[in-house]
Chains A and B, each alone.
Chain A
Amino acid sequence: MELYELTIHELQEKLKRREVCAREILDSVFYRIGAVEEKIHAYISLMRETAYMQAEEADRHLSAGEGTEIMGIPIALKDILCTKGFPTTCGSRILENFIPPYDATVVEKLKAAGAVFVGKANMDEFAMGSSTETSYFGITRNPWNLERIPGGSSGGSAAAVAAHECIAALGSDTGGSIRQPAALCGVVGLKPTYGRVSRFGLIAFASSLDQIGPITKDVEDCAILMKYIAGYDPKESTSVPEPVPDYRQFLRRDIKGWKIGVPREYFIEGIDPEVERVVKGAISLLEREGAEVVEISLPHTPYCVATYYIIAPAEASSNLARYDGVKYGFRSPDGKDLLEMYKKTRSQGFGDEVKRRIIIGTYVLSAGYYEAYYKKASQVRALIRRDFDEAFSRVDVILTPTTPTAAFRLGEKRDDPIQMYLSDIFTISANLAGIPGISVPGGFTADGLPVGIQFLANHFQEGKLIQAASALEQLLISDKRRPSE
């Protein structure tokens, strides 16, 4: 096996035993990038120079006997995470040449632990999208089928992990943007509890929904990365001072007697029968292992998408007001006065989907509509959360399909916003309620496309997610398919 095909924990073993060095691992990853990146386009930019410096530094520490679980490991960063001294575009023309003078907190943390940054991964512009088709820098293709989307908005991160163009990646999730692409690309993706991982330096889309999380090849890698990125940050007011457990302790543990909630409302909407088959297969496996499947109800499920598509754009319309051509980023040369400069900058700098959401968001907050839309949605949000509180009083975790279908074709839904929004139907609720969720590969459709299984747990119960996902992963271990080269 090539080094680039291995996981974090496998590589750590080799590094500890001095079988390989960080530089070699990086060489392997860049070799792989050279071979497939042109087809997949997972990256907006590569950080070759600094990556090698980091690898050298890591090797120095490792030879001195010092190390962390992620030292020397090549990681991709979704280009929504600010990297000091290196361009951070958020997939948008309006930030094409923006070079942040600061690192995001998670970037700082990974740096301190000796990780190596391969490059900035492609994404839907400003994280608004479910297919990575709205990036100003071009689309990313699904490594399992190049005619299909990788999912979004963290499509680049998921594709990079699936295609072994990095060992692991960080993505961000506002309505499913880690879990959905992870599912469509056949990898693991976790969205932490809101407030678990610092948002400082994460370019904001919807502040009350955004979270950063790992996208990895297996559950163990996910547990490892979580340990390094989670934790209280005084630079974020919404950061929760909850202690961070070593999530590795939840791996390969029994789930006998666990109550697994299956929400009846999640199996009504138009799910692809292939997806349903895979999910039902996973449920059976878990039952055989001794878990008890409990049918639960999340009655406000039908309102999740509408609630999300009021709240997220509203917050986004405000968060994106700072892109005005005054202090940083793109400024249109065509503006004759201030007002024109604003309008042309923003109209030329933003893509259609971003504009659409800004307009929706501005509308629902505007005078006369606030009560009817934003306030109403905030109230329904409270009810959605209550649904989960109720459910978790009866079950350990909830199991759902991650997506209603496997990866659709590139261009298929681009002009149908509602269809596009509905692909988030299973993931959105977790962001609204602030609870953590993980997508773990569950199998494949008859067409050979990956299907993801989602577990949801209560606030700060990422351990339960790891445990459930690890258990399922162990049960499915026989099917070790890989995307065709």
Chain B
Amino acid sequence: MDLEPVIGLEVHAQLLTDSKIFCSCSTHFGANPNHHTCPVCLGMPGILPVLNRKVVEYALKMAVATNCSINRKNYFARKNYFYPDLPKGYQISQYALPLAEHGYLEIETEEGKKKIGITRIHMEEDAGKLVHDESQPVSYVDFNRTGVPLIEIVSEPDIRSAEEAVQYLKALRDILVYLEICDGNMEEGSFRCDANVSLRPRGQKEFGTRTELKNMNSFRHVQRALEYEIKRQMFIIESGSEVVQETRLWDESQGVTYAMRGKEEAHDYRYFPDPDLVAVFVDDAWIEQIKSSLPELPAAKKARFMSEYGLSPYDAGVITAEKALADYFETCANLCGQPKTVANWIMGDLLKLLNEDRRPITECPVKPAYLAEIIQLIGDGTISGKIAKEILSEVYKTGTAPRTIIEKKGLVQISDMEAIARVVEEVISNHPEQVAQYRSGKEKVFGFFVGQVMKETQGKANPKLVNDLLREKLKA
């Protein structure tokens, strides 16, 4: 049977506002339980919600960045259900008329670029956190997180593989981070994903029965869970049975999805327009202002880096993965005019240093100007490539300018032909045995001579010159 997977993803992204969506409590993570609460987010009797304008702004940014059409008048609705982490017994969300609809973003697949549709983006409030007691049949509720603003981004069921799903999620996450409206961290819960998965015979229009997957806490989980679920459904269908519509949780330790225990009620959320809130009206001026405030988005930046700086798709991808890194690269490349070299240095030595330290590029002691300087100094022969690596480490450790370090340590490359020639001659005359070996055809011995010259010059000799001179003088 030729079955194709049909996948839709639902993402919840926590917005980086300072205060909550409907009250002035702080959204900042890490406070002691119930220390960031007030009568409003606790759902006490008589309280009322007032919308944080920044939430609308951030949601609009995402909507514009993903080519959505904005509903000029949109409304909040109540989603009614009972759960201890939901203090009012309803979640304020958007239902019939959400902020934005009918958008898309592009992902790279083997067959080229593919558009994944975005059905809708809407604003809503987060719920609290429930912690279960290990030994007793009780749970503990912390309402710090209730009222933290979320946007829910629902994709069309356009995704056809686990790989595509991860591509989509990464692209979505990158945009959110670029827009500086979400920190896109799946492990910490600021970026969450649920999936709807079904299979159907290729070419068929009707959808198959779908299952909903939850509890995936990283891109890897998503990939593995989807791969597993697709296989699971395939097996069921191919053996003649039917897939059961249900919610399944991903179990990372076992590598399987399992159905949620107990009879899962179809929730009747009884949505109706929230009478405590008024319409959100977005006029042309606001949309224009949002449009003009958008930064260059990841996909566009990547494409530009490839065309303008000649970077390979892979390199451009790595460098534009993080906006700060892309900015760093661009500043540096413009300073020294050698983009490809800059890219290599960043992707090699610089990221290695940062990763060891777990430091973000924004805290890198090597300013773009410093890296540019190093590259220029190699270019004009002042230092060798090898020495440059040492200098980079030193700049990283101390934050001092390269030139200062070079002067202090006297690392200027020796490019004085005569000086090198003298050392070369000295080395040659000191090692007659090896000379004989080389002249008799042992090419490998050449390295020995190079090493010796470098040793004598504390590594500062211009390697090319050393090479040339050695070759010349060893020629008999």
Contact = CB atoms under 8 A, between A and B. Distances in A.
Touching in the complex, A and B, CB below 8 A? Answer: yes
B416 to A, nearest CB: 76
B268 A237 contact: no
Given A237-B276, A318-B78, A374-B272, A338 B84 contact: yes
A370 interface: yes
A448 interface: no
B45 A90 contact: yes
Contacts of B278: 237-238
A326 B84 contact: yes
Nearest to A236: B48
Given A95-B45, A237-B48, A237-B50, A324 B89 contact: yes
Interface stretch (A44-52, A196-204, A407-415): A196-204
A267 interface: no
Contact of B89 (A90, A200, A207, A322): A322
A366 interface: yes
B294 interface: no
B82 A237 contact: no
A327 B45 contact: no
A82 B82 contact: no
B276 A82 contact: no
Interface in A319-352: 320-322, 324, 326-328, 337-338, 342
A82 B45 contact: yes
Interface residues of A, number: 44
A67 interface: no
Interface stretch (A97-105, A114-122, A296-304): A97-105
* Main SS at interface, chain A: loop
B276 A238 contact: yes
From A206, A317, A321, A337, residue with most partner B Cβ within 10 Å? A321
Interface string A74-110: 0000000110000010100001001011101000000
A315 interface: yes
From B84, B141, B270, residue with most partner A Cβ within 10 Å? B270
B17 interface: no
B169 to A, nearest CB: 31
Contacts of B88: 321-322
Interface string B265-276: 000101110011
A207 B48 CA distance: 10
B43 A207 contact: no
Given A318-B89, A321-B82, A202 B46 contact: yes
B87 interface: yes
Interface string B35-68: 0000100111111111100000000000000000
A256 interface: no
Contacts of A342: 82
B275 A321 contact: no
B269 to A, nearest CB: 9
A320 B45 CA distance: 9
17 contacts: A81-B46, A82-B45, A98-B45, A102-B39, A102-B44, A201-B47, A203-B45, A207-B275, A315-B275, A317-B80, A318-B270, A321-B89, A322-B43, A322-B45, A327-B44, A327-B87, A370-B271
